[in-house]
Amino acid sequence: MQTLAQDLLQQNQHRPERLLAILHGVQDHHRYIPDAAMKQIAKGLNIPWTQVLAVVEFYNFYHTTPRGEYDILISDSITDRMLGNQAVIDRISQRLNVAPGKVRPDGQVSLDTTSCTGLCDQGPAALINGWAIPQMDDRVDQLCELIEQRRPMADWPAALFQVQDNIQRTGLLLDKTIDPGQAISQALTQGADAMLQAVDQSGLRGRGGAGFKTAMKWRFCREENTDQRYVLCNADEGEPGTFKDRVLLNRYAEQVFEGMTCAGLTIGASQGVLYLRGEYRFLLAALHDTLARRRAAGLLGDNIQGSGQAFDIEICLGAGAYICGEESALIESLEGKPGIPRNRPPYPVTHGYLGKPTVVNNVETFLAAAHIAAYGAEGFAALGTKQSKGTKILSVCGDCARPGIYEVPFGTSIAEVLKACGADNAAGAQIGGPSGTYIDQREFNRKLAFEDLATGGSFMVFNASRNVLDTVDNFTHFFNHESCGFCTPCRVGTALLRKQLEKIVSGHGSAGDVVELEALCQVIKQNSHCGLGQTAANPILSTLERYPELYQQQLKKISYEPGFDLDAALATARRMANRDDAGAHLAQIDEEH
Ligand SMILES: Cc1cc2nc3c(=O)[nH]c(=O)nc-3n(C[C@H](O)[C@H](O)[C@H](O)COP(=O)(O)O)c2cc1C
Ligand code: SF4
């Protein structure tokens, strides 16, 4: 009899680059990846089984021991915390009698936290068996009942899974949408050279954060002498606080696919892949439907709009690893490997997916490219600033009355965004996610632009009641958790950062510890292999610069205290000796005495 693994291998044509899809099938069925399945998969793909094991161990959504029949993961971004995710965890834990981080002994339920799920505008959010559920605070009782009754998830009320788009402000791209095929026919009529020129004249720069010029990337790829090129859409959107790509793929998928197709026609690629973060699995079915519709309409396939040119798009579902948003890690992941960033150069434009020249762009970049193909470069280039043309789509969340999506021209000030979203008493804002910049009230006139505050879209608002150090602590944990472990400065450094920060925040640090913390930040920043490590210290560095007094207030008045609390560790010995007098304690030497 054919096993599940064999079925999945067959469905995925025994292609090693489909390993993630095969493992998703096994994980969904067994709630973990059994050794026997790993061995069968390795044999079927003709790769060592240790390679399969390495992939299973790398991604957060695969497991080597069974998860609960109902596997509950609570989103743990700072905004989920602000919206009360701890109370949700406590209530579920109590009601279902399951300890956080554990599988209940009968195997019916497991409970844990996960990095930001991209629902920061409607948290606290959860994933249950991989399916997103927003606003958990209102739903704990209902959900626990369904689990206690062992109701299959397919029978759960659809309203539980209803994710809102929360589009609060539209602009050039979201207002002036295009009909299916409109941009493609323009791209075909004007030809690849003119299309490239339009993208160049528009001034479009990548919306994933780094802001590389899109036309230049496309040109480099097009100029490579090769038999195959690829277009990859980066929908791994894992930066805490970012969720605009979720909305774009839910509401504007036609336009995103249209942009990918225009890119393919321009650079001479016949295959595209959308890499969708695992947390957005709920978008998958509708995206496949959209692709099928476009194929039927001749907008994808072997002969696009009768031009004789071919281009098609596949979707690959990620498996819970923030690092896979880094473009070379994304390519590794697409090839069915752990998402470890490659050495660069060579860059993907020359050596990318399957070793071929590859363009990787963000979802919003493709949306903008479709607009430029359909309507020309002028309208786009007329908006924004000198170095940042067009509009930026922001994901706004945190302490504001109207969280959601805002499309604003580049050059818009932070104060304007705060006003628009109803953040009346904002004390600070984190621009560009944890790897970005924390700014306070004194800087609210700064502008969103590559020449001032660059952002992939994350815009988190904090009012005066929030403790800045809690935010820094959450971000530092995030980087440590998401470090891929490949290079020592980041793997070890982010763990040390976390510990050192905890020591200070918990009131056990001295002035020397702050000096050491800052030195550690510099070591990680300067020696890490990729952007994750290079920016992991930003939350600490940017708050140390703005709020030294906050760190100062936490310090003990001692010259040095080891990270290990010896006195606390001797508590058991004291209990055994039945002593708790002053002589049984180790005293710290206070500088004032
Ligand atoms: C740790 C890390 C995570 C990233 N995550 C994303 C992401 O989720 N989405 C994205 O488009 N770019 C992300 N990037 C940037 C990509 O490496 C790449 O620059 C981008 O996809 C290029 O597209 P663009 O030119 O359209 O911006 C990330 C970079 C790093 C270092
Ligand atoms: S910097 Fe961190 S995430 Fe990047 S390669 Fe090194 S360990 Fe991996």
Mean pLDDT for back-to-back runs of 10 residues, the chain (593 residues): 90 97 98 97 96 98 98 97 98 98 98 98 98 96 97 97 98 96 97 98 95 98 97 97 98 98 98 98 98 98 97 98 98 98 96 98 98 98 98 98 98 98 96 94 96 96 95 97 97 97 93 94 97 97 92 75 59 66 60 40
Residue 465 burial (C-beta neighbours within 10 Å; 0-12, 13-18, 19+): exposed
Q: Give the number of the atom of ligand 2 that is nearest the alpha carbon of residue 494.
A: 2
CB of 324 closer than 6 angstroms to any ligand 2 atom: no
| Nearest C-alpha neighbor of 242 from the set 394, 358, 21, 465 | 394
What pLDDT shows up at residue 582?
A: 73
What pLDDT shows up at residue 562?
A: 58
CB of 344 closer than 6 angstroms to any ligand 1 atom: no
CB of 348 closer than 6 angstroms to any ligand 1 atom: no
What pLDDT shows up at residue 556?
A: 73
Listing DSSP states for 309-334 in one string gives --BEEEEEE--S-GGGGSHHHHHHHH
Q: Give the number of the atom of ligand 1 that is nearest the alpha carbon of residue 325.
A: 5
The SS3 of residue 429 is strand
Neighbouring CB atoms inside 10 A of 9's CB total 21
What pLDDT shows up at residue 575?
A: 66
What pLDDT shows up at residue 589?
A: 43
What pLDDT shows up at residue 585?
A: 67
Choosing from 328, 524, 532 the residue with most ligand 2 atoms within 8 A of its CB, the one to mutate for a pocket test is 532
Q: List, in order, residues 6 or more apart from 544 with CB less than 8 Å away.
A: 514, 517, 518, 551
What pLDDT shows up at residue 591?
A: 43
The answer to whether the pTM exceeds 0.85 is: yes
Contact call for residues 348 and 269 (beta carbons, < 8 A): no
CB of 528 closer than 6 angstroms to any ligand 2 atom: yes
N-term to C-term CA, the chain: 79
Q: Give the number of the atom of ligand 2 that is nearest the alpha carbon of residue 485.
A: 7
Gap from CA of 435 to ligand 2 centroid (Å): 14
Choosing from 115, 239, 322, 323 the residue with most ligand 2 atoms within 8 A of its CB, the one to mutate for a pocket test is 323
What pLDDT shows up at residue 276?
A: 98
The beta strand positions in 212-366, using DSSP E, are 230-235, 271-276, 312-317, 358-362
Residue nearest to atom 6 of ligand 1 (CA): 325
What pLDDT shows up at residue 576?
A: 61
What pLDDT shows up at residue 580?
A: 75
Q: Give the number of the atom of ligand 2 that is nearest the alpha carbon of residue 491.
A: 7
